[in-house]
């Protein structure tokens, strides 16, 4: 009978059982998985060693060519917090998102460009980067990795499993001796913040604080907990010239006034950013994380786990909690049998970028928000045509009444560089598409609000009216989600579905991530005359936050309709 090598050469990612509820005990399934993994690993190593030197040489060749294979069969981690029933030493069974992070790092190395990883605490980022560095140290000639952090003690303190180098030591100490480089002697080649491969002369180095970037050239430079660097701009300058690739990784630090890491993350092109939420690890089941949340203060939970940098900020226009509720709305409605039907006519909002800024377009169909599209070409003609094409190509599945939702209205900002788009829009009309240039600095509309005030009395300008309309929509969505999750929740409330907003939920998509992050960045305040004003771009830049172009594209779909749009809707109703 032939041997099937599929599972051997491609070990399957760790997957949690389906449909685990928050009330279920989640330990039993993981303990069973753990026992199976440990037995499988020992049997694998035993089979290789029984095959003699030829089998060992083949195994080393496979490990050199495939880092995921090597880590899935030979990687072990250590967590001293585990007592019973979990052991402190655990097999490094990779989840799919951890495999994605390894491949993401490979991609950065192939294009020789920097990347950013914004993450929850406890997702194994440092362990994985340590394993990646060791694999390259062992098998890629001429590869030098440097790890940097805010303090040298966080990079290497002998005997402390919390530091980076000790994690690497724990990884290689768990390996069979035949997997180590020829001639490797830990007493000679494993020093303070320096690991030397005597076989190929590769090194892994460490640096901390103001010394970061001063240790010569590196192939890969990993900046761990970059959001906590005291002088991040100095580290940026020191490391930019002496390494091929820098990986900036961090949890959020909402108390960092410099906010360098957030600026770095927001300004890095979409293909070079990686978001890693704790829910993407199967071991973080609802029951386990509910227990952890109960023992964690709300502000720490928001920043360290939910990647929510708006929690501790005062006067945030749209709290991140409301945004997250909006992302859950569609699935909850489907589970409860509530129809969240798109509107027949969709609206697109286009934010025109200039210079290094991106142009972004996003569409709404009643409560449904589509995945945004963005591009960096500053040419206004090309930008206008891309927006028109987006409107023509974007449709949703047919509604129950057989109508296929299509974009009927396009609004774009016509201020500054947006003026250059106007001419192209005018000379390239599209059938059944009403295009309107919007100046969000214009006075608010004459719409009457539920509190009895007119918009022009309540808001400083059209921008504030649009943001507040989105705010009220997401507030109702949050209340609806609380009601759907628990009808007895006193903070929950049922609302008509056409007053809600269902944002796309795939945060692995960088465009979705940026949209949902930016919605919770601008603050609001009242002017001396009592009118509501939204934080301007100059103030955002002072806080280290770039222009929220994704959010502003969505807000354009929430500003008051133009006269042309009103006439189109009137004609449609009165046909």
Specify whether the CB–CB gap between 538 and 464 falls below 8 A.
no
Give the residue among 285, 231, 274 at the shortest CA–CA distance from 249.
274
CATH class of 335-573: alpha beta
pLDDT for 27 equals 65
pLDDT for 15 equals 67
Specify whether the CB–CB gap between 24 and 287 falls below 8 A.
yes
Report the distance separating Cα 67 and Cα 103, nearest Å.
10
pLDDT for 206 equals 94
- Model-wide pTM > 0.75: no
State pLDDT tens for residues 229-287: 888 888 888 888 888 899 999 988 866 655 677 777 777 888 899 999 998 988 887 77
Enumerate the domain spans of the chain: 6-301, 335-573
For helices 462-485 and 549-556, the axis angle rounded to 10 degrees is: 90
How far does CA 2 lie from the centroid of its chain? 44
CATH superfamily of 6-301: P-loop containing nucleotide triphosphate hydrolases (3.40.50.300)
* Bond before 227 cis per omega within 30 degrees: no
For helices 125-139 and 52-65, the axis angle rounded to 10 degrees is: 120
**Around 402, how many Cα atoms within 13 Å sit in the side-chain half-sphere?**
0
Write out residues in the chain with pLDDT < 70, as ranges. 1-11, 14-27, 81-85, 254-259, 309-314, 355-356, 378, 418, 569-575
In this structure, are strands 373-375 and 359-365 parallel, antiparallel, or unpaired? antiparallel
pLDDT for 575 equals 36
Q: What is the token pair recorded at 486? A: 């628990």
Same fold, 6-301 and 335-573: no
Neighbours of 55 (CB within 10 A): 13
């Amino acid at each position: 009978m032939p041997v099937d090598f599929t599972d051997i050469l491609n070990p399957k990612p760790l997957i949690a059982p389906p449909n685990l509820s928050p009330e279920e005990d989640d330990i039993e399934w993981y303990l069973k998985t753990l026992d199976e993994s440990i037995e499988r690993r020992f049997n694998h190593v035993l089979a290789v060693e029984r095959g003699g030197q030829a089998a060992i040489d083949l195994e080393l060749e496979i490990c050199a060519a495939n880092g995921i294979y090597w880590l899935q069969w030979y990687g072990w981690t250590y967590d001293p917090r585990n007592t019973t029933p979990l052991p402190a030493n655990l097999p490094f069974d990779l989840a799919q998102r951890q495999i994605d992070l390894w491949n993401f790092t490979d991609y950065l190395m192939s294009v020789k460009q920097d990347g950013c990883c914004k993450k929850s605490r406890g997702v194994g980022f440092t362990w994985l980067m340590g394993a990646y560095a060791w694999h390259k140290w062992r098998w890629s000639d001429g590869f030098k990795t440097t790890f940097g952090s805010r303090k040298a003690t966080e990079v290497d303190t002998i005997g402390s499993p919390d530091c980076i180098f000790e994690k690497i030591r724990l990884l290689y100490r768990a390996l069979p001796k035949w997997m180590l480089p020829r001639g490797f002697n830990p007493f000679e080649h494993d020093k303070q913040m320096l690991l030397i491969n005597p076989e190929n002369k590769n090194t892994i180095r460490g640096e901390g604080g103001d010394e970061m970037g001063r240790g010569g050239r590196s192939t890969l430079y990993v900046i761990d907990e970059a959001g906590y660097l005291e002088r991040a701009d100095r580290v940026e300058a020191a490391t930019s010239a002496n390494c091929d690739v820098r990986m900036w990784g961090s949890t959020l630090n909402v108390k960092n006034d410099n906010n360098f890491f957030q600026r770095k993350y927001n300004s890095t092109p979409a293909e070079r950013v990686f978001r890693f939420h704790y829910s993407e690890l199967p071991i973080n089941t609802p029951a386990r994380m509910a227990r952890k949340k109960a023992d964690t203060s709300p502000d720490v939970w928001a920043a360290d786990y939910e990647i929510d940098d708006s929690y501790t900020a005062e006067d945030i226009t749209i709290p991140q909690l409301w945004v997250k509720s909006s992302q859950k709305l569609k699935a909850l409605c489907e589970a409860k049998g509530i129809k969240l039907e798109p509107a027949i006519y969709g609206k697109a909002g286009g934010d025109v970028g200039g210079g290094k800024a991106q142009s972004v377009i996003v569409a709404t169909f009643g409560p449904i928000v589509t995945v945004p599209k963005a591009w960096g070409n500053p040419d206004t003609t090309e930008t206008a045509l891309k927006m028109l094409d987006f409107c023509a190509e974007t449709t949703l599945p047919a509604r129950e009444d057989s109508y296929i939702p299509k974009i009927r209205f396009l609004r774009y900002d016509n201020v500054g560089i947006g003026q250059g788009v106007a001419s192209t829009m005018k000379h390239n009309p599209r059938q059944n598409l009403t295009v309107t240039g919007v100046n969000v600095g214009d006075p608010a509309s004459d719409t009457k609000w539920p509190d009895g005030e007119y918009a022009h009395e309540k808001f400083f300008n059209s921008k504030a009216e649009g943001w507040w309309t989105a705010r009220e929509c997401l507030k109702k969505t949050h209340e609806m989600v609380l009601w759907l999750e628990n009808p007895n929740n006193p903070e929950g409330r049922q609302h008509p579905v056409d007053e809600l907003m269902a944002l796309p939920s795939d945060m692995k998509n960088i465009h979705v991530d940026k949209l949902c992050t930016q919605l919770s960045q601008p603050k609001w305040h009242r002017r001396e005359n009592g009118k509501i004003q939204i934080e301007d771009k100059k103030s955002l830049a002072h806080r280290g936050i770039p222009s929220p172009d994704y959010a502003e594209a969505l807000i354009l779909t929430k500003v008051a309709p133009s006269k042309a749009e009103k006439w189109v809707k009137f004609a449609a109703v009165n046909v």
